[in-house]
Chain A
Amino acid sequence: MDVGIAGYGAYVPRHRIKVEEIAKVWGADAPAYKKGLMLREKSVPTPDQDTITLSVEAARHAVRRAGVEPRRIGAIYIGSESHPYAVKPSGTVVAEALGMTPEVHCADFEFACKAGSEGMFVALSLARAEEMDYALAIGADTSQGAPGDALEYSASAGAAAFIMGRDRLVAVCEATYSFMTDTPDFWRREHQFYPRHAGRFTGEPAYFRHTAACARGLMEKSGTRPDDFRWAVFHQPNGKFPMRVAQELGFPRAKVEEGWLCPTLGNTYSGASPLGLTAVLDVAAPGDRILMVSYGSGSGSDGFIWRVTPRIEEVRDLAPRTRAQLEDHPVYIDYGTYAKFRGKIRKPCE
């Protein structure tokens, strides 16, 4: 029995800030940052956008492509490290907005940048177990980087949503694999506004080890090699990491570029590899195989193999394509506006 994606949707905010604009405030070397991070600009949420609002828009796009009645969706899982409430689910708001309530299972997930793919894994599993006809998984974030920190150049906003099911599939899930250890490379303690990270420790022992091991484990489990894939999507905390891991694994640049959104989107955290997948689905042909590996600090990776079905041709234009949202009508803002939008300006309490 096939299980997979019945509908997918993306949402990217319109506002952008360029690396130069941030660098000039902190006296940083913009060309060096751009080259080092392989990143030119990032998306910025407005003050009225948060993980909940991005999730609603992405999920509405997914519902349109799936063409299913929202009440038939039995679960909603939103993965994010920026849930607007510390206590109270994001999923209830999104489910209510979509008209999924009240017979719905709901949980908010958090696992740094891999919370979105966790939701996808659980939603797929429920569909496979025939617990329900469809389950909705969303990866969304409006992440914060501390002022002047390297993360400020990349931490961005976006959401991707997937309706998993057994029919109406646009992509069949052929295999999954997870790889996880306790590796504290990035964290945010309760009540802290900005996350912290372990500098260069976030590279080799964290991102590269987990992402590569997950991809290798997934291919071993499924008996596949890089040649078997038309596309590959990796978590993209910056532009450089996914390209390097792809090279190590033997995926040529051409297979990675379509889902490599980071250079102009930034790091959407829980939304990152899921958004990359939506961009690939926007262009993939029936029969194409896609390898997707997420990464979340702490640390772990979820891997998926997707095989695109002919239905993709019927649905991809039922909602805005991911790259169109990324490229059409961006609004560039200065650092002052960015600081205002992101609540980085200190004001008296109301």
Chain B
Amino acid sequence: MIGTARYWREIPQRYRYEAARCTACAHVAFPPRTLCAKCRGRAFEPCTLAGEGVVETFTVIRVAPAGYADEAPYAVGLIRLTDGVRLMAQVVDCDLARLAIGDRVRVEFRRIRQDGESGILCYGYKFVPAT
């Protein structure tokens, strides 16, 4: 179970890809954080992640955790966005047998999971082939 409040507070990141750019060193934190991981600066300006990138690495989950089993097999990868930020996300609508490091992908809004049959529906970003 994810629960409502815990899900709700991440909405700016999951729906709109809102990140924070350190005003001192320009490092982009996603999700935003209190201290810059690079320079320990505390001042950030909001920014939005690029919607495209390349697959830096990935796997195909065959044995899924509780709540995700219905969608297995599915690919999860680390995506290096064109703005340099790296994030983890599923790669969907792709041929799992042909997915490769270096593939270009772009973001789409998808349902990520649901809290059982009667709980909340949880949305967020996934990536699809950029072709």
Contacts and interface: CB of A to CB of B under 8 A. Distances in A.
Contact of A53 (B11, B110, B116, B131): B110
Given A99-B16, A349-B117, A350-B116, A49 B67 contact: no
Contact of B123 (A47, A60, A93, A349): A93
A53 B15 contact: no
Contacts of A336: none
A97 B109 contact: yes
B15 A96 contact: yes
B37 to A, nearest CB: 26
B15 A50 contact: no
A337 to B, nearest CB: 12
Contact of B111 (A14, A53, A57, A349): A53
Given A48-B92, A48-B126, A329-B131, A56 B109 contact: yes
Nearest to B129: A329
A329 B67 CA distance: 29
B93 A52 contact: no
A46 B66 contact: no
A349 B117 CA distance: 8
Chain A: interface size category: 20 to 34
Nearest to A350: B116
A84 interface: yes
Contact of B109 (A46, A47, A53, A347): A53
Residue from the set A15, A53, A56 with the largest chain B CB neighbour count within 10 Å? A53
Nearest to A99: B16
Contact of A48 (B71, B116, B129, B131): B71
Contacts of B93: 14-15, 46, 331
Interface of A: 14-15, 46-50, 52-53, 56-57, 60, 84-85, 93, 96-97, 99, 329, 331, 340, 347, 349-350
15 contacts: A47-B70, A47-B111, A48-B92, A48-B110, A50-B121, A53-B111, A53-B123, A57-B108, A93-B15, A96-B11, A97-B15, A97-B109, A99-B16, A331-B93, A350-B117
